[in-house]
Structure 1
Amino acid sequence: MHRFIKFALTAAALCVPLVPADAGKKDNTLVWATDRENSITDSNYLNTRELVIMGTLIYDRLVHLDEEYDPRPLLATAWTWVNDTTLDLDIRKGVKFHSGKDLDADDVVYTISFLINRDNGALSYSYVSYIKSAEKLESHKVRLNFVKPFPTALVFLAGVPNIMAKGHYDNAPARPDGKKDFGAVPANGTGPYKVSEIKPGESILMTANAGYWDGSPKGKPQIANIKFRTIKDSNARLAEVMTGAVDWVWDVPKDQAERMQNAPNLTVENAKTLRIAYVNFDSTGVSPQKNFKDKRVRQAIAHAINRESIAKNIVGEPSQVIHSACHPDQFACASDVPKYDYNPEKAKKLLAEAGFPNGFEFELHAYREREHTEAIIGDLVKVGLKPKLVYLQYAPLVQAVHKGQVSATHMTWGSSSLPDVSACAAHFFKGSADDLAKDPEVIRLITEADGTVDPNKRKALWKQALTRIADEAYWVPLFTYAKYYVYSKELDFKATSDEIPQFFRAKWK
C-alpha cells in the first residue's frame, strides 16, 4: 500500500484536475488515451493501432471474426466460392452511411478498387493485394477475383477494408507537393459511431450512430460518446485515469499496473495479444551502416538479448519468448526453427569472428515502449556493442525504413489482429518496402504458400520459410505482448487477444 500511496502522490503532483471533465458514466463519455498522435481517422493513410480501433467504431467491414476467429457475416450476409480464385458476396441491404447514403455493391467495388490501385498509396495495400479486381454483379452482390488462390481471404476481409461510400476520395484536398491528401477526407462510414470532432494531435470525438443497423454482431452502441486523447507523458496519462479524467488506458508498465491494483476506483487487467516484438536488420546493406550484412553480427545480437528476462520482468505474464517471425497462435506459425539462446559469450565470439572484437556503433530506431528498447540496449552494451537510441513516432520511422535510412529497428507488429502467419511474416519477407532481407528463396516460399489452398502444404511451405528466416537471423523475434489495461470500475469492458478493444460493446455498469 505504501508504494501505491507514493504513486498517487506523484500523480497529484502533476496538477491533474481532480474533477473529471467530459468523462465517465456521469457524462456518458468514454475517454481513452494513448501516447500516439492521430491527426486523421483513416487507417489506410495512417496505420496506427489507434486508427485500427477507431475503424471498428466508424466503419464496418465485409466480414466479422467471432471469438474463435471464425468468419461471420457483417456487411456481407453470405458468400460463395465460385472457384479457388473467385468469391461472390451478398451485400447487406438496409444499411446507411453516416451521410445518409444507402450501402450497395457500388460502394464495395469502389473501396476495393481504390485500395488495390498502388498509385493511390494506401498503407493497407499489402492486405488487399491478393485481389485482382472487384465487380458488381447485382445491386447488392459483388464478385472478387483473386490474383491466385488465397485461402485466408475471409479472414483478411475481416481486417481490411473498411467500406467507404462510392467516390469517398474523389474530392481529397491537395498537399503542398500537389498530390491528393486522401487521408484528410472526413470519415463517412456505416459503423456504430460517427466522427464529430478532430483536434489534430490532441483528440478525436465520436458520437453514437442512432441509426446503426439492427442485427449487427457489434450490437447497438451503449455509450453516447467515445473520445480518444493523446497524452504523451505516461505518468500524466496514469494520473488522469486515477482522477477519472480518463476512463481507459493500456500499455501500462508492469510495475505501475501492479501498484494501481490497489486503487478502489480502477480495474487492472492483464491479457495476451497477437502482437509480437522484434529486432530487424538491414541485411542487404542499403542503409549507411553495412555491418548487418554479416550473418554473424545478426546472430550475435540474437544471442546477446535476454528475451526471457524482458518478457518476464518487464512485459509480464502471459508474455512468452518467441523464435519464429510470427505469433504462436497464428495458423502455420512453426515454432521448431533455429533458436538463439541467451549467451553473451557466444555473442562476443561471433562479433570477433566478424571482425568486431570491440563492437561498433550503430543507431537502433524504436517507437514504442522505451523501457523495452532500453533493456535491449543494455544487453547489447554488455557484449561490446554501442547502440544509440533514436526514438520516433511510428509513421516517420516507417518512412525512414522505406527510404533505406535505417540499419536496425526495435519494433512491434500486431498483424492487424489477423490469426494467420501470412499477416505477419509475409508483410516483412515477401519483397515489399518492409522487407529488409529481400531473400529470393524466402520470397519464393512465401509466395507459393500464399497461393496454396491445401492447409498441410501451406504449413510445410511456411515452415521452410520461417526456418530460413531464423537460420539467417534476418529478424530477432523477441516475445509476445501482454497488455496491462487500467480502466474505470464503472466501465463494463472485456479485453480480447486481438488487441482491438471492442468499445462498441462497452457499457456503464
Structure 2
Amino acid sequence: MPHSRAASRLAAASVAVALSLATPAFSQSEAPPKPGGTLEIGTVYVTLSALSWDLADWNWKQNHDTGQVYEQLFAADLSKSKRLGGKHSFYADAWIPSDAIRGELAEKWEWKQNPLRLEINLRKGVMFPDKPGVMAARELVADDVVFSFNHRDKSPKKIATYFDHIDKVEATDKHTVLFTFKNYNAEWDYRFGWGYYSGIIPKEVVDAGAGNWKNINGTGPFQLAEFVQGNSNTYVKNPNYWGTEKINGVETKLPLVDKVVYRTIKDEATFLTALRTGKLDILENIRWSAVDELKKSAPQLKWSKWLSMSGQFLAMRVDTKPFDDVRVRRALNLAVNKQEIVKEYYGGNAELFAYPQHPDYLGYFEPLEAMPDSIKELFTYNPEKAKKLLAEAGVPKGFTLKVQVCACNPDHIDLIPLLAAYYEQVGVKLDIQTMEYGAFLSAMTTKTNAPGYLMNNGHTNPTTTIRKSFVKGQVWNPSQWSDPEYDKKMDAVYLEPDESKRQAMLKEMTREILDKAPYVWLPTPYIFTAWWPWVKNYAGELRAGAVRPGPIYARIWVDQDLKKKMGH
C-alpha cells in the first residue's frame, strides 16, 4: 500500500483546507437577521419519528435527530452553496465533495507518515453545557473524541469492517487527537469525521443512559428540550454555543432561532395542509403530485426541486429460489414498464436511471445510454421475453412472490398495486405485506425480510452505495447478495488513494451489479421542498453531513415581522 503517496496527496489537501478553517463568511442582499422565533419543519423524514438516541445503536437516522446537539469533527462548508455563488446544492444524503468540507470541532488537521497518521487539533473553548443530573458544564477535550470513537467501535451493533482501517485513536494532549491507520481508506473522513456515526458524545451521557432522550447533551447549537414519540422533536437554543456566522459583514452569534421543532406527521394530506396554512415553515419532502395544487393555494411559497437521493427498487433475495437464477431476476425487470412509470405515474417527474450511482456524483455516474446493451435491456418493457426467461428458468406458470412494503412511504403504497398489475401479466402474483417502519427496517437488518422487499435506500456516497448493498454481511443488503470476488474488488477500491482510478473501478463494479440484477431497478423520482418567504438565509439546502441538517437550521432566521404581515 503506497502510504507515502496517499499521505502526501491528503496532506496537501488538508493544508489547503486548514488555510480556510475560519467559520465561512456568508454574504447576501437581505437585511441583517433578527434572532428569535421558532422554526417549524416537516423534514425529509416527516413521517418518521426518532429511532434511537444512543449513537452506539448505529442507527442511520441518529444524525438527523441528534445532529443539532452532537457535533462532529467536520461538516459541510455551507458558504459554497449555490445560493451564495458556489457550486453545491447540499441535497445529498451523505456526500460532501472534497472541496466543500470544513472543520467543525476540528480546527486543523495534518497527515503524518510511517505509519500513516492523521493529527487533528480541536477548537479550544468549546463547551458542553450544564445538564442537571447528567453533567456539569465543561470544555470539549481530545479524550471526548477518543471515547466517542471507542463507544462506537466496541458496540455489538457496529457495521462490519467499518473501522477496520483504524489501528488506534489516542489523545496526545488536551486538544490533539491522533488517528493511526492500519491502511489507507478512501472514506476516512466520512467514516469517523462527518458521517452517520461520527457524533462526539461525552462519557457522562453514556453513563447516565445515552438511549434516554432526556440525557443527551452535546456542543451543538441546540439542545433537545422535548421528544414526543410520533409527534415532535423540540430543540432550544444553546445559549453558550461557540459558532458565529458573518452575514452582511456582521459577525452573528449562532443559532439565530430560539427553537426548532421537527413535526412527525404520518398522513400526507395532513402535512401538506400544515404547510399550506403556515403551521409548517418548511416542508422538505413533497411529492410531485401535490405541487400544482400547493402553488395555486399558497402562491407565496418558495420552491426547490431535487432528484431523490434514495434509490428505489424491489430487492429479490438471491438466497431464495427462484431468485438464485439471474433469468428470473432479469424477467422481473423486463415485466415492469419503467418508462410508463416515469411518464404516467410520476408525470415525468422522475429519472428512469439514477441508481446505484446518482447523477450528482460527477466522475462516478454513467448515464444509461453509455451502458452495455444487456443493462439497457433491463430498463425496457418486454413482457414476452420475461415469460420466455421464466419458462427457461423452470417456472413457466409463474409463482407467488411475497413483498414487504413500508406503510411510512405513501409513494410505495401507491406504486405497489401498479407493480402487481404488471407482474400479473407474466403469471407472477404479489402477496403484499404492509409494515410499520420499525418492523420493516428490522426485517432487513435481521436478514429475515421476505423474498421481495420494496424500499428506498440512500445513495449515501459513490463508494458506500455499492459497499452497503452488495457486499456480503452488510446491513443494507436486502437481496443478501454474496460474491467473494466482488467483495475483493470493493476492498481494492477503498485502498486506492487516486480518485480517478477509484472512479474507473466503481464504474466497472456498478455495471457488473446492474447486469446481475439482484433488484428490480425502479425509476428515481424528483422531490420538492417548499418554504415560506419569512424563512431567511435558506434556499432548500437539506444536509450538511450524513442526513444532518443541524448546521443549516442554525443559520436560518425567521423574519417575524413578515410572517405577521402575511397573516401567520
| Range into which the TM-score falls when normalised by the shorter chain | 0.7 to 0.9
1:453-479 CA-to-partner distances (Å, cap 9, x unmatched) read: 122332233233222212211233333
- Check if 1:390 corresponds to 2:433: yes
1:92 paired residue among 94, 100, 123:
123
TM-superposed deviation, 1:485 = 1.7
Secondary structure at the aligned position of 1:251 is classed as strand
> Distance in 2 between the 1:297 and 1:495 partners?
42
Secondary structure at the aligned position of 2:129 is classed as coil
Check conservation: 1:106, 1:139, Cα contact below 8 A.
Answer: yes
My pick for the range that moved more, 315-324 or 182-191, is 315-324
TM-score with structure 2 setting the length: 0.75
> Distance in 2 between the 1:500 and 1:378 partners?
38
Q: What is the number of residues matched between the two proteins?
A: 467
Check conservation: 1:271, 1:318, Cα contact below 8 A.
Answer: no
Return the letter of the residue paired with 1:64. Answer: A
Secondary structure at the aligned position of 1:170 is classed as helix
- Could you say which residue in structure 1 is the equivalent of 2:108? 78
Query: Aligned ranges for residues 252-271 of structure 1 at < 5 Å?
Result: 252-262=286-296, 263-271=298-306
1:57-78 CA-to-partner distances (Å, cap 9, x unmatched) read: 2221111123442221111111
> Distance in 1 between the 2:489 and 2:424 partners?
36
> Distance in 2 between the 1:212 and 1:303 partners?
55
> Distance in 2 between the 1:59 and 1:161 partners?
9
1:138-190 CA-to-partner distances (Å, cap 9, x unmatched) read: 11111112342112322442224011113432343xxxxxxxx7466722111
- Could you say which residue in structure 1 is the equivalent of 2:379? 341
> Distance in 1 between the 2:521 and 2:282 partners?
29
> Distance in 1 between the 2:344 and 2:176 partners?
52
> Distance in 2 between the 1:239 and 1:221 partners?
28
- Check if 1:482 corresponds to 2:526: yes
Secondary structure at the aligned position of 2:225 is classed as strand
2:139 paired residue among 99, 102, 107:
102
1:270-328 CA-to-partner distances (Å, cap 9, x unmatched) read: 2234332222221122xxxx221111111112222333343454456664222652323
- Check if 1:354 corresponds to 2:412: no
Check conservation: 2:289, 2:346, Cα contact below 8 A.
Answer: no
- Could you say which residue in structure 2 is the equivalent of 1:161? 198
> Distance in 1 between the 2:326 and 2:428 partners?
16
- Could you say which residue in structure 2 is the equivalent of 1:434? 476
- Could you say which residue in structure 1 is the equivalent of 2:465? 424
- Could you say which residue in structure 2 is the equivalent of 1:238? 272
TM-score with structure 1 setting the length: 0.83
Secondary structure at the aligned position of 2:463 is classed as helix
- Could you say which residue in structure 1 is the equivalent of 2:72? 61
2:180 paired residue among 145, 150, 154:
145
> Distance in 2 between the 1:113 and 1:135 partners?
10
Return the letter of the residue paired with 2:103. Answer: P
Return the letter of the residue paired with 2:352. Answer: V
> Distance in 2 between the 1:303 and 1:152 partners?
35
- Long gaps (5+) in structure 1: 1-24, 173-180
- Check if 1:400 corresponds to 2:437: no
Return the letter of the residue paired with 1:434. Answer: W
Check conservation: 1:71, 1:155, Cα contact below 8 A.
Answer: no
- Could you say which residue in structure 1 is the equivalent of 2:501? 457
My pick for the range that moved more, 271-280 or 197-206, is 271-280
Secondary structure at the aligned position of 2:390 is classed as helix
- Could you say which residue in structure 2 is the equivalent of 1:193? 222
Secondary structure at the aligned position of 2:356 is classed as coil
Check conservation: 1:168, 1:185, Cα contact below 8 A.
Answer: no
- Check if 1:332 corresponds to 2:364: yes
> Distance in 1 between the 2:285 and 2:498 partners?
38
Aligned-pair identity in percent equals: 24
> Distance in 2 between the 1:445 and 1:61 partners?
30
Alpha-carbon distance change, 232 to 274 in structure 1, aligned in 2, over 3 angstroms: closer
Return the letter of the residue paired with 1:165. Answer: P
> Distance in 2 between the 1:165 and 1:316 partners?
49
Check conservation: 2:312, 2:456, Cα contact below 8 A.
Answer: yes
Secondary structure at the aligned position of 2:286 is classed as coil
TM-superposed deviation, 1:237 = 1.6
- Could you say which residue in structure 2 is the equivalent of 1:28? 37
Return the letter of the residue paired with 1:30. Answer: L
> Distance in 2 between the 1:267 and 1:243 partners?
14
Alpha-carbon distance change, 467 to 270 in structure 1, aligned in 2, over 3 angstroms: closer
Alpha-carbon distance change, 149 to 373 in structure 1, aligned in 2, over 3 angstroms: farther
Check conservation: 1:115, 1:128, Cα contact below 8 A.
Answer: no
Check conservation: 1:430, 1:443, Cα contact below 8 A.
Answer: yes
Alpha-carbon distance change, 41 to 214 in structure 1, aligned in 2, over 3 angstroms: same
TM-superposed deviation, 1:104 = 0.9
TM-superposed deviation, 1:35 = 1.4
> Distance in 2 between the 1:27 and 1:306 partners?
51
> Distance in 2 between the 1:305 and 1:183 partners?
45
- Could you say which residue in structure 2 is the equivalent of 1:204? 233
> Distance in 2 between the 1:219 and 1:310 partners?
48
Secondary structure at the aligned position of 1:325 is classed as coil
- Long gaps (5+) in structure 2: 1-33, 82-87, 89-96, 131-136, 247-251, 560-568
- Check if 1:284 corresponds to 2:319: yes
TM-superposed deviation, 1:129 = 4.9
Secondary structure at the aligned position of 1:291 is classed as coil
> Distance in 2 between the 1:202 and 1:47 partners?
20
- Could you say which residue in structure 2 is the equivalent of 1:495? 540
> Distance in 1 between the 2:36 and 2:110 partners?
45
Alpha-carbon distance change, 391 to 148 in structure 1, aligned in 2, over 3 angstroms: farther
Secondary structure at the aligned position of 1:58 is classed as coil
Alpha-carbon distance change, 312 to 248 in structure 1, aligned in 2, over 3 angstroms: farther
> Distance in 1 between the 2:337 and 2:55 partners?
34
Alpha-carbon distance change, 128 to 188 in structure 1, aligned in 2, over 3 angstroms: farther
> Distance in 1 between the 2:448 and 2:236 partners?
41
Secondary structure at the aligned position of 2:168 is classed as strand
- Could you say which residue in structure 1 is the equivalent of 2:564? none
- Could you say which residue in structure 1 is the equivalent of 2:563? none
> Distance in 2 between the 1:168 and 1:30 partners?
27
Check conservation: 1:35, 1:233, Cα contact below 8 A.
Answer: yes
Alpha-carbon distance change, 148 to 365 in structure 1, aligned in 2, over 3 angstroms: farther
- Could you say which residue in structure 2 is the equivalent of 1:13? none
TM-superposed deviation, 1:105 = 0.4
- Could you say which residue in structure 2 is the equivalent of 1:176? none
Check conservation: 2:357, 2:364, Cα contact below 8 A.
Answer: no
Return the letter of the residue paired with 2:153. Answer: I
Return the letter of the residue paired with 1:102. Answer: E
Return the letter of the residue paired with 1:56. Answer: G
TM-superposed deviation, 1:404 = 3.1
